[in-house]
Structure 1
Amino acid sequence: MEFGRLITAMVTPFDAQGRIDWEATGRLIDYLIEDQESDSLVLSGTTGESPTLSDEEKLALFRFSVERAAGRCKIIAGTGSNNTSHSIHLTQEAEACGVDGILLVAPYYNRPSQEGLYRHFRAIAESTGLPILLYNVPGRTGVNISAETTLRLAELPNVVATKDCAPLEQITAIAAAAPEHFRVYSGDDSATLPVLTVGGYGIVSVASHLIGSKMKRLIEAHLSGNAAEAAKLHQECYPVFKGLFECPHPVPNPVAVKYALGLKGIPVGGVRLPLVEPTEAEAAFISKLL
């Protein structure tokens, strides 16, 4: 399965009552494919506010997105949790919806050992025929999938990639020793170019909601050996990479990107509690950033 170089972790549009806005969701999918050149979309990831989506909403979102994308890009379903049996159930339901792949976040809060992480991911992988992308984000989950555990999981036939937010040293170790079929994606927009230079394959991005086409050019410049152009594009993108998460101080994702999309004429509504709308100062910063 080819998920491409630029994967967008898509926000979930809500209406004024906080329900999924299906019309806005359809427009957003079209925009991300046609205008921002996304190769794949992750639905119900952290950026999609997965903690506040019910299973019924997630499955409806998967079905809708598969139908709307209509083969123009791949649809990856976020089905991971800190409950292995629940993740297996949701993964199998997502597979029945016709998605192309599964994103599995490391179990959060209960902080399993490396052996526990391995067995968790192996059990889910064995329950489905779909390709699996691991998601290592220690800053959110409180646990790090080590390079050794990632490489061990990479030996499973349908574990095909990792979206990794670990330090560059760990990502380098994974990229250096991974099987040929296994791909390493940066999970941090600002690390896109550094990860590519140490053997990474692409990016699972938030900023691609706004500057996806420029990020695509950045990746293409790197692949063509034009280091100077890649560095120039990285520097141009960097204020957006950082600004969406620090506006002007740390703000939880996807508060900033949802507000920014509204400013760009792509309304996706607000966020669900416990997230809240940007403050006046944050809104002014995002407006200036664009």
Structure 2
Amino acid sequence: MNFGRLVTAMVTPFNDSGELSKDGLDALVRHLIETGTTAIVVSGTTGESPTLSHDEKLRLLEWTLRAVDGRVPVLMGSGTNDTASSVQLSKEACQVGADGLLVVAPYYNRPNGDGMFAHFSAVAEAVSVPILLYNVPTRTSSNLDVSTVLRLASIPNIVGVKEATPDMAQILRLAAMKSDDFFLYSGDDKLTLPMLSVGGYGVVSVASHVVGREMTDMISAYLEGRTLDAATTAARLLPMFEVLFSSPSPGPLKVALQSLGLAVGGVRLPVTWPDESISRHVLSELSRFHPVASN
């Protein structure tokens, strides 16, 4: 399955009581599809997965599948730092109807390459849907290195990786050594264009919630050979990419979405709501793309 080039790691909408909001989710899904999202990830880090219960993750997936109604693929973030739990959640996600899985490298326990390979292999063997690996060393304190990714790429339903390492040398090595049918996605919005330039396919994005059309334009410009246009758009987008992480995510993003009239609610502890100065900064950047949002 091709997940497209602009995959959105969707926030989880909450109501005023801090519970999942189906109405908020339905409106958000409509907004994402209308603004260029080609696939949606539920219960990823941006979706506050560490604070979602097992049942909430499955309910969120079910609601999202209904709201999407087949228009774009829906992936579920089913990885944990326990292989048995990851396998079980992945199986249940497939039973609900997930089109694919995003499986993060195990965090905190810091397995070596052999442990990583065994972990991801166990998940892949338990399901038949396509799997994207997710490497984010700044959060997991472990690195899914190039040699391990290439070993895992030989497993038929492991189709790509969301790569969020800050190490561009590692990205270059992976891009040079991977097969053409293994999808390399940026896991960092600001590295989307650099990764496209070395053979990346697209991005699993946070900023696409609020600048999806502009990101689509940037990707399209690059693919059409209009590299200067792509670079100009990337430079215009960079302050937005940065401000969305000026406070623990997804707080700044939820500030922006609420300003756009999308009822996504607050954040769950231990993440806290951005302070007033950060919120003002978010809205200032947002107004460059959505003038009404500043009013």
Structure 1 residue 165, shift from structure 2 partner: 0.9
Structure 1 residue 41 corresponds to structure 2 residue 40: yes
RMSD value, Cα: 0.7
Aligned partner (choices 276, 281, 285) of residue 280 of structure 1 = 276
Provide the C-alpha distance between the structure 2 equivalents of 1:62 and 1:80, rounded to a whole number of angstroms. 14
Q: Deviations over 1:212-256 (max 9, x none)?
A: 11100100000011111100110111110111112xxxx111111
Corresponding residue for 2:89?
90
Corresponding residue for 2:292?
none
Corresponding residue for 1:55?
54
Structure 1 residue 264 corresponds to structure 2 residue 260: yes
Provide the C-alpha distance between the structure 1 equivalents of 2:139 and 2:2, rounded to a whole number of angstroms. 27
Provide the C-alpha distance between the structure 2 equivalents of 1:232 and 1:39, rounded to a whole number of angstroms. 23
Corresponding residue for 1:185?
185
- Any residues of structure 2 matched to 1:8-47 within 5 Å, and which? 8-34=8-34, 36-47=35-46
Structure 1 residue 196 corresponds to structure 2 residue 196: yes
The question of whether the paired residues in 1 share the 8 Å contact of 2:6 and 2:203 is answered with yes
Corresponding residue for 2:224?
224
* TM-score, reference length from structure 2: 0.95
- What SS does structure 1 have at the residue aligned with 2:61? helix
Provide the C-alpha distance between the structure 1 equivalents of 2:249 and 2:146, rounded to a whole number of angstroms. 26
Corresponding residue for 1:213?
213
Provide the C-alpha distance between the structure 1 equivalents of 2:117 and 2:248, rounded to a whole number of angstroms. 29
- What SS does structure 2 have at the residue aligned with 1:104? strand
Structure 1 residue 282, shift from structure 2 partner: 1.2
Q: Deviations over 1:4-37 (max 9, x none)?
A: 0000000000011100011000100011001x21
Corresponding residue for 1:171?
171
Provide the C-alpha distance between the structure 2 equivalents of 1:25 and 1:40, rounded to a whole number of angstroms. 15
Provide the C-alpha distance between the structure 2 equivalents of 1:195 and 1:267, rounded to a whole number of angstroms. 33
- What SS does structure 1 have at the residue aligned with 2:25? helix
Q: Where does the alignment leave 5 or more consecutive residues of structure 2 unmatched?
A: 287-295
- Any residues of structure 2 matched to 1:226-245 within 5 Å, and which? 226-245=226-245
- In the TM superposition, structure 1's runs of 4+ consecutive aligned residues that sit over 3 Å from their partners are none
Provide the C-alpha distance between the structure 1 equivalents of 2:52 and 2:137, rounded to a whole number of angstroms. 22
Corresponding residue for 2:289?
none
Q: Where does the alignment leave 5 or more consecutive residues of structure 1 unmatched?
A: none
Provide the C-alpha distance between the structure 2 equivalents of 1:255 and 1:98, rounded to a whole number of angstroms. 29
- What SS does structure 2 have at the residue aligned with 1:15? coil
* TM-score, reference length from structure 1: 0.97
Q: How many residues align?
A: 285
Provide the C-alpha distance between the structure 2 equivalents of 1:208 and 1:284, rounded to a whole number of angstroms. 20
Q: Deviations over 1:121-178 (max 9, x none)?
A: 0011010001000000000000000011111111110000100011221111111111
Provide the C-alpha distance between the structure 2 equivalents of 1:171 and 1:156, rounded to a whole number of angstroms. 20
> After the TM superposition, which of the residue ranges 280-289 and 269-278 deviates more from structure 2?
280-289
The question of whether the paired residues in 1 share the 8 Å contact of 2:248 and 2:272 is answered with no
Structure 1 residue 180, shift from structure 2 partner: 2.5
The question of whether the paired residues in 2 share the 8 Å contact of 1:155 and 1:179 is answered with no
Provide the C-alpha distance between the structure 2 equivalents of 1:266 and 1:59, rounded to a whole number of angstroms. 22
The question of whether the paired residues in 2 share the 8 Å contact of 1:118 and 1:149 is answered with yes
Sequence identity (%) = 47
